[in-house]
Amino acid sequence: MDSIINHPLALSIIVALPLFGVIARLFGATFRRIARWYLYLAVFAVVVVMNSIFFPFIGGKDYFFRYAVELALMAYALFWAFEAGEGEVWKSVKEAARKPLAIAVTAFAAMFLLASLFAYDMHAAFWSNYERGEGGFQMLHYYAFFALLVLLFNTEKEWKNLFRFSLVAAGGMILYGILGNYAVQGTIGPYTGNVAPVGWWHTLIDGRFQGSLGNPAYVAPYLMFSMFYAGYLWVRRTASAPASRAVRAWTGVGWGALIAVFVFFFFISQTRGAFLGLGAGLFVFTLYLAIAGRGKMRKWAGAVAILLVVLGGTIYALRKSPITNMIPEGRLLQISLSDATAQTRLWVWGEAWHGFLERPVLGWGPENFTAVYDKFFNPKFFVPGQNGETWFDRAHSVYFDYLAETGILGLLAYLSIWAVFFTEFARRHRHGNDRSPKAIVERGMILAMPVAYLVQGVAIFDVFPMYLNVFLFAGFAYWYFYHHHGQNA
């Protein structure tokens, strides 16, 4: 811990974040606004990398996020004490507590914490470790982040600002990864200490891009959320203030170019689960447009949906073809249940299932999957002279992880978030008055985002970059379902 506190970046964060609030207060900012700004800053945790600690891509992100959320919570408490009207905060809390989506998120956090309390190793379940940092203590911060978003972000302008900050953070994540690929001093990349490919282009695309997240498997799902934020801002770019046709055209080009950048780095991360998730999200998006749209939109969307099905079938049919190996980033197309990666996941899912059967109600506890892995170890994992692909502390599936670690109550609570989301979305669709193309596209994106996330979650577990965006998206969905009464309602 001393090495972390003495890290120059850590010291800067410890001093700078509270100082920011003090300076903002001196310039007349309300405590409510200061709390909101700390939440804006929290999304930049994804860029933090502390080179001198044992897990440089993990610890610094957790500490920065927790610190920013704690300061936001303190600022909100000061707002409650000194600035809020009588009963204002309590009224907001009671209103939120009655909304189904807030209830579902609260239930999930509560089950997660209960599973920590009754865990096989309670200390590990609550405090976690340096490698993951995703125990009950971290869940308290995720929930506080969500609760503060619900209480503080009440206008579209505020949500747009949060999305913009998230996009800047995504840009920082990508920039760090580019610098890391080229072994710029002070960065960590895939070729640090190794021989890089010849040529600047091959140095960028030959390996799997890991950004500032340290693992390519995290980059792709993180960028899926970033694509959604950019897409939402693109569609809603003229909602606040009318603009000339030229301005609308250029801003549209800008948002489109940004999404193209995200798509590029999404593909060079070569994450097959996220690739399937993105495909599923695009299919649901086009299908929604085909159902809810009218005229040309319906025809074009239907044609694209059919094209996606044909393309998906073709990719699957050619997945073992020599042509696939010749395509850049062809790893994305090599989708098979018989390859080594899929087999190791199937084996570890079997272990998770046996662990669930032994402790079915609240599971073994967060960060306790190692005990499950050891007790129900599959000897097929051990091949002399070969490294295993699947790490031993996760089931490598959102669903099997929650099933084994938080039991049936934890998994059902997690699924209830998305069940409520889709129920509220259906209600919004039925009662929405705006049937304009822009409104339909907006709703299609909001529907597709969780579909993409849930599909990719079949083969990967939740870690900080995903949790951050899941709780951020849940906060946005709360506002969209219960407080968004604008033109696209």
Alpha carbons 218 and 78: distance in angstroms, whole number? 36
Contact by Cβ (8 Å): 135, 126: yes
Average pLDDT over the chain, rounded to an integer:
88
Q: From 438, 455, 370, select the one nearest 404 (Cα to Cα).
A: 370
Q: 154: how many CB neighbours lie within 10 A of its CB?
A: 13
Instruction: Tell which wins on pLDDT, 6 or 182.
Output: 182
Mean pLDDT of 179-207: 86
Alpha carbons 13 and 18: distance in angstroms, whole number? 9
Residues 6+ apart with CB under 8 A from 88: none
Residue 120, pLDDT > 90, answer: yes
Which pLDDT score is estimated for 2?
46
Alpha carbons 397 and 25: distance in angstroms, whole number? 44
Residue 221, pLDDT > 60, answer: yes
Alpha carbons 361 and 111: distance in angstroms, whole number? 10
Mean pLDDT of 247-263: 88
Which pLDDT score is estimated for 391?
65
Q: From 328, 404, 484, select the one nearest 119 (Cα to Cα).
A: 404
- What residue has token string 């000897």? 379
Q: 5: how many CB neighbours lie within 10 A of its CB?
A: 10
Mean pLDDT of 128-137: 87
Instruction: Tell which wins on pLDDT, 198 or 256.
Output: 256
Q: How confident is the model at residue 240 (pLDDT cuts 50, 70, 90)?
A: low
Alpha carbons 234 and 254: distance in angstroms, whole number? 9
Contact by Cβ (8 Å): 294, 288: no
416-469 pLDDT, tens per residue?
999 999 999 999 888 777 788 889 999 999 999 999 999 999 988 999 999 999
Which pLDDT score is estimated for 199?
87
47-92 pLDDT, tens per residue?
999 887 888 899 899 999 999 999 999 999 999 999 999 999 999 9
Which pLDDT score is estimated for 487?
40
Q: 414: how many CB neighbours lie within 10 A of its CB?
A: 25
H runs (alpha helix) in 6-54: 8-26, 31-42
Q: How confident is the model at residue 488 (pLDDT cuts 50, 70, 90)?
A: very low
Q: 373-377 long-range CB contacts below 8 Å, 24 or more apart? A: 373/348, 376/350, 376/351, 377/351
Residue 270, pLDDT > 70, answer: yes
Residues 6+ apart with CB under 8 A from 283: 305, 308, 309, 312
Residue 242, pLDDT > 60, answer: no
Contact by Cβ (8 Å): 461, 352: no
Which pLDDT score is estimated for 325?
56
Which pLDDT score is estimated for 328?
52
Mean pLDDT of 233-248: 71
Least reliable range by pLDDT among 8-17, 19-28, 96-105, 242-251 = 242-251
Mean pLDDT of 343-348: 84
Alpha carbons 369 and 355: distance in angstroms, whole number? 9
366-379 pLDDT, tens per residue?
999 999 999 988 88
Q: How confident is the model at residue 122 (pLDDT cuts 50, 70, 90)?
A: very high
Q: What is the pTM of this model?
A: 0.92
DSSP one-letter string for 382-429: --TT---SS-TT--SSHHHHHHHHHHHHHHHHHHHHHHHHHHHHHHHH
Alpha carbons 222 and 274: distance in angstroms, whole number? 9
277-334 pLDDT, tens per residue?
999 999 999 999 999 888 888 889 889 889 988 888 877 776 666 655 555 555 555 5
Mean pLDDT of 116-123: 96
Mean pLDDT of 470-479: 98
Mean pLDDT of 229-254: 78
Which pLDDT score is estimated for 173?
97
Which pLDDT score is estimated for 383?
67
Instruction: Tell which wins on pLDDT, 291 or 237.
Output: 291
